[in-house]
Structure 1
Amino acid sequence: MPKVKNKVEVLAGKKDLQVNRRSFQPFDPLACDFLSSMSGELMSDPLAKQYPDVISFAYWCRRAHLLSMKEQFTDEYIRLGLGCVFHIAPSNVPINFAYSYAFSLLAGNANVVRVPSKAFSQNSIVYHALNRLFADQKYEAIAERSVFIRYEQDDEITGELSADCDARIIWGGDSTIHTIRKLPIPARSIDISFADRYSFCVIHSKSILQANEQELSRLASKFYNDTFLMDQNACSSPHLIVWLGSNEEITAAKHRFWHHLSMHTASKYDLQPVNAIDKYTTLCRHAIDLTEPRTITTHGNYIYRIHLKELPSAIDSWRGKFGYFYEYNTEDLNSVAHIVTNKYQTLTYYGVDKSLLANFVLSNSLSGIDRIVPVGQALDISIIWDGYDLIRTLSRICDIQ
């Protein structure tokens, strides 16, 4: 890739961009050991401890978790990685690029990773850890299969990298994906696109009313992690809360839940003035544009709640940031099935039986919802993501008969 070499900034890995394309088997011991060492590097870095997303990635890479995933991955076939995977990370979720790399490495691939062009502080911590590990002769085979690059949007560079990959992973909004897909990849290569998605939360009011103060405090902390840690920018962060129960139960449950969340948020969340203004502007715009009957409740500048009496089918186009939520009351979860399209990714829940949630998806033949997880696990990323089994998708079968 001679043209690309002088146009990109290499942050970690192969300086000449010429990665070794020979594949490993999924969950190769060296790849697992490398990621486990990455976990140790980050956990012991004082700077990393300032960033919850870096520590979350480090925790994800710990040896016990990798071995657990390996044990769950059972396959009767011989598998090898596809070859070289080109990653295009999202611009608004800093550590996402590291997960994307880890998935592909565990699948057995060499990797060229385009990181966000914005210089996030927490990303620099990861680059430094990668370079320390790449300098260790023990991980030479990983180093020669890895490169992390940064460049401003440039179709010529992206096009050249795309033309030389065996798989391309695109994270971003719909328009970004459409633009990049116009740049061809080799005939036998594959595209995996993680597009803009929408997520919501279901809470049973009786469970809130039955919970003690300590349980509600824990719930508030978990919901905070799902939403405020990423300012609701993550596709898996909920924007809509569906409350189950009678009107009386829901009213009482809302009072308890939002009281605890507002206290937790006020003590934890650093709401920047520009974000507060942006949130208020969104509120004004929605007050004008949203035709459905609604009322508005605020908890200082930290939490805005829009109560909808009717749930529009295009609710996924109405999104908030920095603590901006829509609420809808119902006694029957099936009443919200009409809103679920293939844009829906994660459903978080509290106090709802799993069988009811499974029936909701199956009986309504929903085209969306790829994940159903308890409140507090919205941001927990795994090798099963957006409906893809990434280890199988990023590896190939050698069929011996």
Structure 2
Amino acid sequence: MINCTNKKLIVGLEIGTTKVASLVGEVFPNGEINVLGLGNCPSKGINKGDINDLESIIKCIKKSIKQAEDMSNHKIYAINLAFSNQYINYKNEIGMVSINKEEITKKDIKKVIKTAKSVRINDKFHILHIVPQEYIIDEKKGIENPLGLSGIRMQAKVHLITSNYNIEKNIIKAVKRCKLRVDKIVFSGLASGKAVLTEEEKKLGVCMIDIGGGTIDVLIYIEGSLQHSQVIPYAGDIITNDISYAFSTPTSDAEYLKVKYGCASSFLQDNLNHIKITKSTNNESKILNQEKLTEVIELRCLELLEIVNNQILNLQKKLKKKGRKYRLNSGIVLTGGVSKTKFFTDCAERIFQMQVRIGCARNITGLINHVKTPEYSTVIGLLHFKNKNTSKKNEIFCKKKNWLYSINRWFNIYKILKLK
């Protein structure tokens, strides 16, 4: 028998347009994440965060969770869920309260946050996140934590992220049908930011762009506070569709071409050759022009990045008009599966005219070779969102282990990783 102790682990589940990823990990006090298990299943029945076939996506979730359970040797009962779709919106609001005692208490902070979030929103929407930007006590600005300080009046500037309740409810329904409890729902962009951004980058000013299969999540931090969050309903799938149309090939073959031979810069692409592929539909061979493939991908990447650049410029214009800092001195951080495209950073530098880097999850151990890539930023970031109300029922208990189960575990790990 192998010794087994109960551990409080956290599980992240990302239900994306192209994949359903689940990850089991243990978060240490220093913020380091020990990754114990990973599940990955191609998505069916969901597009840009909106379910169009409930039964299909349930099957995908179950398969992904089962892989993570087999690899980690733990039974999963509860998850943190990533959530993103084109109806995610934001508001920057201000709340204000009077301070009745000698110093500010936790009750005062809760009260000022409550006033800040008391804004009218569409009946179909609700507040998903309240992210404090800064506190102001009398005339003193830029306070990160007002607890214990003295003053007469306190203001709180907050960033509110709202979501469509019905779309969110359908995602939760799919998860519950898999006999899983949702402990937290997290905007995918926030999760990715937790995984790839540093506090120094946020203070200096940074824009994170997470380009997935169906959506692009954008976060902009200025002076350490979140000023802008946005979901663009175009991403990697539109590039795949362009390739499919240009070469009259099925989307499955187009996706293969994008991943295998994709390049985002015709200026840097060399050794251009013809590509021979076998159609998945009828096994016929077809010769494709790699130069044309690069041209299709490059044009669409430039267009997508230009949309983000316009958002950055609009925000900077507003902040500059108010006399506030607006520069992104840390530049652009790209993450998500599309960011792995060859020469994508060079393509981005042409649009943004500032430094660009690829962001992968930081401070992780365990299955590091298999998850330290941009497409897993969101699901790893989910593990940073601890449930404050965690109880024994929220724990993920070890399965009974014996020598036969251990052999089976390593066989499952080998099988899962071989398929990637």
Measured against the shorter chain, the TM-score band is: under 0.3
Structure number with the higher helix fraction is: 1
The TM-score, its normalising length taken from structure 1, stands at 0.27
Q: Which has the higher strand share?
A: 2
Bigger relative CO (Cα 8 Å, ≥ 6 apart): 2
